[in-house]
C-alpha cells in the first residue's frame, strides 16, 4: 500500500488545480485504446483515425503511447504537477516536459516497462531529444483532440472541484476525497492511500499537494516533481457530454424550455449559482424553476455546508431519458 503523508501544514495548504497536460495524456490514452465508453463513442470515432495515423508515422510516439497505456508507472516527464492552479495552461506545462534529459527519460521508461503487463523492447527509444519529442506529441494531441472540446471539459472539471470544495468546507478532506478514485482513500489522520501496490511512502511538503480532476472515464496517477511537489490526478464525477442541439421536443413543450434545460443539466449535480452561470439566466429565474421542479419531485436538493446541490430524482431521470 502506497501512502502520501501530510503534515497539518501541508493539509491546510492542499488545494485543487487543473492540468491541460493531464487532460491531454488521458485523452491520448482513451483514443489509443478500443472505445469502451458509450459517452465518448462519437468523439473516439472522429479522432481515433487521426491519432492512429500520427502514431504510425512516428515509431517513438507509437512506442511511448503503447507503453503509457499498459503500465502502472508513468515516467516523470509526462506527469508533472501543475503550477498555475485552476488557471494552468498547457503552455505553462510543456516546457517542464521538454526539459528532461535523455538519460533521465530513458531510465524512467525502463521502470515503466518493469511495471507493464505487456512486452516492450524499447527499440523505438532511439535518437535523442526524447523529452522535446514527447512535448511535441502532447502539444499536437492537445490542439487536435482536446482544445476543441476544452470549454465543455473545463466546465465539467470546475463543477467537480466546486462540489468537492463544498464537501471540504463542510466536512474536511476525508469527505472531499471520498470516492475520488477506486484505489485512493484517507488512512488514519495524516495519510492518503494512492495505490494498492507496495511502494515507499511519500512525504508531502508544507506547501501541500494538488488534486487534479480529468474528464477521462478512469485512471488515477500521482505526479511528483522535486523537491516535494505532489499532485493526485483523478477522474471527475460525470461525463463531458456533447452539447445538445436546441430542439423542440415533448419535454420542452411539457414543462417549458428553461425547466427542461435545467433538468437536463442536472444529469450532473449542481448549485443554483452554477446553473445560472452556465445557462446565462438570473439566479432568481433559476431558483424559481428549481422550486417548481422540486415540487414536482423531478429533482432533489442536498445541503453541503452553505450550499444546496441539486440532482435529478429517479422520476427526473425517466423524463430525460433519450
Instruction: Give the cell for residue 183.
Output: 484505489
DSSP letter (8 states) at residue 144: I
Residue 211 CA to residue 11 CA, distance in Å, equals 12
Residue 258 sits in the same domain as residue 187? no
Answer yes or no: is 245 within a domain: no
Mean pLDDT of the chain: 89
213 or 41, which is more confident: 213
DSSP letter (8 states) at residue 205: -
Whole-number Cα distances in Å, 248 to 94, 242, 278, 317? 44, 18, 20, 19
Residue 163 sits in the same domain as residue 211? yes
Residue 139 CA to residue 144 CA, distance in Å, equals 9
What tens digit of pLDDT does each residue of 146-195 get? 999 998 899 889 988 988 888 888 888 888 887 787 777 888 878 888 77
Answer yes or no: is 241 within a domain: no
| Last residue within a domain, chosen from 235, 265, 292 | 235
| Last residue within a domain, chosen from 235, 269, 299 | 235
Average pLDDT over residues 299-322: 86
Range of the domain at 71: 2-235
Answer yes or no: is 157 within a domain: yes
Answer yes or no: is 127 within a domain: yes
pLDDT at 155: 87
What tens digit of pLDDT does each residue of 239-297 get? 654 444 444 466 666 778 888 889 888 988 899 988 988 888 889 899 999 999 999 89
62 burial type by CB count under 10 A (0-12 exposed, 13-18 middle, 19+ buried):
middle
Q: In the β-sheet with 185-187, what is the strand arrangement from edge to edge?
A: 185-187, 191-195, 2-6, 202-204
Residue 265 sits in the same domain as residue 219? no
Residue 256 sits in the same domain as residue 209? no
Instruction: Give the cell for residue 147.
Output: 482544445
| Last residue within a domain, chosen from 208, 235, 262 | 235
Contact 16, 213 (CB under 8 A): yes
Residue 289 sits in the same domain as residue 210? no
Answer yes or no: is 244 within a domain: no
pLDDT at 52: 96
12 or 237, which is more confident: 12
Residue 285 CA to residue 276 CA, distance in Å, equals 8
CATH number at residue 276: 1.10.10.10
Average pLDDT over residues 124-142: 97
Residue 115 sits in the same domain as residue 209? yes
pLDDT band at 304 (very low <50, low <70, confident <90, very high): confident
Answer yes or no: is 242 within a domain: no
> 238: left (phi > 0), else alpha (psi -120 to 50), else beta?
left
DSSP, collapsed to helix, strand or coil, labels residue 307 as strand
Least confident of 141-145, 157-161, 209-213: 157-161
Answer yes or no: is 240 within a domain: no
pLDDT at 218: 75
Is 7's pLDDT higher than 60?
yes
Residue 142 sits in the same domain as residue 32? yes
Residue 286 sits in the same domain as residue 209? no
Helix axes 130-141, 41-56, angle to 10 degrees: 150
Residue 216 sits in the same domain as residue 301? no
Residue 222 sits in the same domain as residue 261? no
What tens digit of pLDDT does each residue of 63-117 get? 999 999 999 999 999 999 999 999 999 999 999 999 999 999 999 999 999 999 9
pLDDT at 247: 44
pLDDT at 251: 67
Residue 234, strand partner residues: 213
Residue 188 sits in the same domain as residue 299? no
pLDDT at 238: 67
Answer yes or no: is 243 within a domain: no
pLDDT at 176: 84
For cell 422550486, name the residue.
Answer: 291
pLDDT at 248: 47
pLDDT at 163: 86
Residue 98 sits in the same domain as residue 196? yes
What's the domain count of the chain?
Answer: 2
Amino acid at each position: 500500500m502506497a501512502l502520501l503523508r501530510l503534515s497539518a501544514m501541508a493539509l491546510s495548504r492542499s488545494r485543487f488545480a487543473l492540468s491541460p497536460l493531464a487532460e491531454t495524456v488521458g485523452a491520448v490514452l482513451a483514443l489509443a485504446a478500443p472505445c469502451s465508453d458509450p459517452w465518448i463513442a462519437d468523439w473516439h470515432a472522429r479522432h481515433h483515425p487521426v491519432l492512429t495515423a500520427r502514431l504510425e508515422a512516428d515509431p517513438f510516439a507509437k512506442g511511448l503511447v503503447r507503453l503509457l497505456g499498459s503500465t502502472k508507472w508513468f515516467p516523470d516527464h509526462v506527469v508533472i504537477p501543475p503550477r498555475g492552479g485552476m488557471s494552468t495552461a498547457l503552455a505553462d506545462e510543456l516546457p517542464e516536459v521538454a526539459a528532461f534529459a535523455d538519460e533521465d527519460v530513458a531510465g524512467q521508461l525502463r521502470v515503466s516497462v518493469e511495471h507493464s503487463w505487456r512486452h516492450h523492447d524499447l527499440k523505438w527509444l532511439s535518437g535523442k531529444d526524447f523529452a522535446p519529442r514527447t512535448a511535441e506529441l502532447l502539444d499536437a494531441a492537445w490542439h487536435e483532440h482536446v482544445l476543441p472540446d476544452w470549454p465543455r471539459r473545463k466546465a465539467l472539471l470546475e463543477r467537480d472541484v466546486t462540489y468537492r470544495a463544498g464537501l471540504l468546507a463542510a466536512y474536511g478532506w476525508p469527505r472531499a476525497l471520498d470516492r475520488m478514485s477506486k484505489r485512493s482513500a484517507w488512512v488514519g489522520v495524516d495519510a492518503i492511500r494512492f495505490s494498492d501496490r507496495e511502494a515507499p511512502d511519500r512525504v508531502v511538503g508544507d506547501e501541500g499537494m494538488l488534486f487534479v480532476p480529468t474528464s477521462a472515464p478512469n485512471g488515477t496517477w500521482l505526479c511528483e516533481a522535486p523537491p516535494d511537489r505532489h499532485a493526485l490526478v483523478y477522474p471527475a464525477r460525470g461525463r463531458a457530454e456533447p452539447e445538445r442541439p436546441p430542439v423542440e421536443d415533448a419535454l420542452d413543450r411539457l414543462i417549458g424550455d428553461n425547466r427542461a434545460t435545467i433538468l437536463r443539466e442536472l444529469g450532473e449535480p449542481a448549485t443554483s449559482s452554477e446553473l445560472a452561470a452556465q445557462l446565462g439566466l438570473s439566479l432568481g429565474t433559476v431558483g424559481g424553476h428549481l422550486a417548481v421542479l422540486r415540487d414536482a419531485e423531478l429533482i432533489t436538493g442536498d445541503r453541503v455546508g452553505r450550499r444546496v446541490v441539486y440532482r435529478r430524482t429517479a422520476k427526473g431521470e425517466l423524463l430525460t431519458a433519450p
